[in-house]
C-alpha cells in the first residue's frame, strides 16, 4: 500500500468511529464537485478540529479567508452560538454562490456572511468592528503573510489564528523555489516567527489530503 493510501485508510477508520454521518457536509462536497469546484476543502477530521478549536475558546466571531464551497465554513459556523458570526471571504463569485446554498442547507445561514472579492481588499473593511476570536486562513498561499497580519490586527489577546497548507508535501523546504505559494509559505513562517504579537507552532499532518500542515498561533495580550 502506498503511504497516501495508508494515511487515507487511517483517516477513514477514525472518521467512522469519531465523526457522525453528516448529510449537510456530504452535500457541500457533492455540490462543489457538481459545480466543478476543486476538491481542496479540508478533510473531515480537520474540519472537526477547526470546530473543536472554536468551541474550546468559546468563539463568537470567526473570520475565514477562502470559502470555496463552504465546507470548512459549515464546520466553523456550527461551533458558534445563535448570535455568533462567521465572516468568510471568497474571490470567485461561483464558489461563493455554491457556498451560500450549502451554508443555507446546513441551517447556519443566519450566522454566516460570505463576502465576495479579493481578501486583501475586503480585510481592511473589517477593521473597526468587533474583534475575531478565531481566524482560519485558507486562500491563495502567496498572500499568507499579509492575511496573517490582518488576522492579528482584527484579533484580540487570546484569539487563535490557523493557517492551512503550510507544508505541501515538504515543498516548503525548497529555498530556491519560485512557486508563489512556496515563497508565500516560507515568508509567512519567517514573519510569524519574528512577530512578537503571537506565539505559534506548526503541526505536520498526513491523511486523505496528503502530507501537509497547519500553523496555529495565539495572539498574545
Ligand atoms: N476553506 C475551504 C477551502 C478554501 S480553497 C474549505 O476548507 O472548505 C481556497 C479558496 O480561496 C478558493 O475558493 C479560492 O477561490 C479562494 N481564493 C483564492 N484567492 C483568493 C483571494 N485573493 N481572496 C479571496 N479568496 C481567494
Ligand atoms: C490547494 C489549496 C488549499 O487550500 C488546499 O487545502 C489544498 C490545495 C491548492 O491551491 O492546490
Ligand atoms: Mg486549504
Read off the C-alpha cell for 8.
487515507
* The overall pTM is greater than 0.85: yes
pLDDT of 200 > 90? The answer is yes
User: What number does the ligand 2 atom closest to the CA of 181 have?
Assistant: 10
Q: How many CB atoms lie within 10 A of CB 62?
A: 27
pLDDT in the model for residue 99: 99
pLDDT of 113 > 90? The answer is yes
Q: How far is the CA of 194 from the centre of ligand 1 (A)?
A: 26
Ligand 1 in reach of 89 Cβ (< 6 A): yes
| Strand order from edge to edge, sheet including 198-205 | 112-116, 85-90, 61-65, 132-137, 155-163, 212-219, 198-205
pLDDT of 221 > 90? The answer is no
pLDDT of 63 > 90? The answer is yes
126-153 pLDDT, tens digit each: 999 999 999 999 999 999 999 999 999 9
Q: Whose CA is nearest to atom 1 of ligand 2?
A: 40
Residue 9 to residue 214: CA distance in whole angstroms: 21
The per-residue pLDDT of the chain, averaged, comes to 98
8-58 pLDDT, tens digit each: 999 999 999 999 999 999 999 999 999 999 999 999 999 999 999 999 999
179-198 pLDDT, tens digit each: 999 999 999 999 999 999 99
Q: How far is the CA of 3 from the centre of ligand 2 (A)?
A: 20
What is the DSSP annotation of the chain? --HHHHHHHHHHHHHHHHS---HHHHHHHHHHHHTT--S-SPPHHHHHHHHHHHHHTT-SEEEEE--TTSHHHHHHHTTS-TT-EEEEEES-HHHHHHHHHHHHHTT-GGGEEEEES-HHHHGGGGTTSPPEEEEEE-S-GGGHHHHHHHHHHTEEEEEEEEE--SSGGGGGG-TT---HHHHHHHHHHHHHHH-TTEEEEEEEE-STT-SEEEEEEEE--
pLDDT in the model for residue 71: 99
Ligand 2 in reach of 40 Cβ (< 6 A): yes
**Chain length of the chain:** 221
Q: How far is the CA of 69 from the centre of ligand 2 (A)?
A: 13
Amino acid at each position: 500500500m502506498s503511504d497516501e493510501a495508508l494515511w487515507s485508510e487511517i483517516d477513514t477508520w477514525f472518521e467512522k468511529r469519531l465523526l457522525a454521518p453528516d448529510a449537510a457536509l456530504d452535500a457541500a462536497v457533492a455540490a462543489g464537485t457538481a459545480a466543478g469546484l476543486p476538491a481542496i476543502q479540508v478533510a473531515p477530521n480537520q474540519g472537526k478540529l477547526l470546530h473543536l478549536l472554536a468551541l474550546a475558546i468559546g468563539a463568537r466571531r470567526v473570520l475565514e479567508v477562502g470559502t470555496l464551497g463552504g465546507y470548512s465554513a459549515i464546520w466553523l459556523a456550527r461551533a458558534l452560538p445563535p448570535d455568533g458570526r462567521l465572516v468568510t471571504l471568497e474571490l470567485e463569485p461561483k464558489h461563493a454562490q455554491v457556498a451560500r446554498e450549502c451554508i443555507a442547507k446546513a441551517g447556519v445561514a443566519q450566522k454566516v456572511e460570505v463576502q465576495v472579492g479579493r481578501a486583501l481588499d475586503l480585510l481592511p473593511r473589517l477593521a473597526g468592528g468587533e474583534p475575531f476570536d478565531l481566524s482560519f486562513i485558507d486562500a491563495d498561499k502567496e498572500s499568507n503573510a499579509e492575511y496573517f497580519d490582518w488576522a492579528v490586527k482584527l484579533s484580540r489577546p487570546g484569539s487563535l489564528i490557523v493557517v492551512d497548507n503550510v507544508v505541501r508535501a515538504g515543498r516548503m523546504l525548497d529555498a530556491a523555489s519560485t512557486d508563489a505559494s512556496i515563497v508565500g509559505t516560507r515568508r509567512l513562517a519567517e514573519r510569524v516567527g519574528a512577530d512578537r504579537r503571537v506565539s505559534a507552532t506548526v503541526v505536520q499532518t498526513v491523511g486523505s489530503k496528503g502530507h501537509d500542515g497547519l500553523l496555529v498561533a495565539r495572539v498574545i495580550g
